[in-house]
A and B are shown apart, each in its own frame.
Chain A
Amino acid sequence: QQQVKQSPQSLIVQKGGISIINCAYENTAFDYFPWYQQFPGKGPALLIAIRPDVSEKKEGRFTISFNKSAKQFSLHIMDSQPGDSATYFCAASMNFGNEKLTFGTGTRLTIIP
């Protein structure tokens, strides 16, 4: 019940296209859903996060869509750029991010010219 399932495992998108990564969770006590971006050899860096009281949050080219009834959330990267090539992890937490993070399995995103 603590798992967060993430798909796809890897994704190749053409430059300028839309990258979409999906996550699903079981535990309805989760109330904070961040996305982290990780480059090789680096720590996860917070990209964008959402709480379940809104269905969408947009920051620049990054948008989280949240479906509370389906217990699913997704990351959309608009106008994908080669610099976006990284591994993306969704995560979930309770108490607005101040409890342990439960991570998804990660998606390796490659943006090709």
Chain B
Amino acid sequence: EPEVTQTPSHQVTQMGQEVILRCVPISNHLYFYWYRQILGQKVEFLVSFYNNEISEKSEIFDDQFSVERPDGSNFTLKIRSTKLEDSAMYFCASSLDRAGSETQYFGPGTRLLVL
């Protein structure tokens, strides 16, 4: 069964450093998303991406964040200057297309710890 994959599974970084989280969505999916989950809390939407541009972003997704689809398979989330409060589990998700009935499929997540 096709699945969304994410790397790395864990990332520890110092405050102020840049991190790049990587995702490989399901191959025929066209819509891509990043969510985050602070420990013990609900999953929160960060950004959606379609046709090589951001389609929607939340108030969490400020200028420190950026997304990119550098090639035909990868989808990345960059945090330019990490803060302590960026520590969370980051999930990538993908969905088929607006006309389809598929919902979003999530990757296993990257646990980011900012020290």
Question: Contact residues of A with B, CB < 8 Å?
Answer: 32, 34, 36, 41-46, 49, 89, 93, 95-106
Contacts and interface: CB of A to CB of B under 8 A. Distances in A.
The interface centre, meaning the residue of A32, A36, A101 with most chain B CB atoms within 10 A of its CB, is A101
Interface string B98-109: 101111111111
Contact of B100 (A93, A98, A100, A103): A98
Interface stretch (B13-21, B37-45, B62-70, B73-81): B37-45
A100 B48 CA distance: 7
Interface residues of B, number: 28
B103 A49 contact: yes
B95 interface: yes
Contact of A103 (B44, B95, B102, B107): B44
A95 B42 contact: no
List the 10 closest pairs (A to B, CB-CB), nearest first: A97-B103, A43-B106, A100-B45, A103-B43, A98-B98, A103-B42, A105-B42, A43-B108, A44-B106, A43-B109
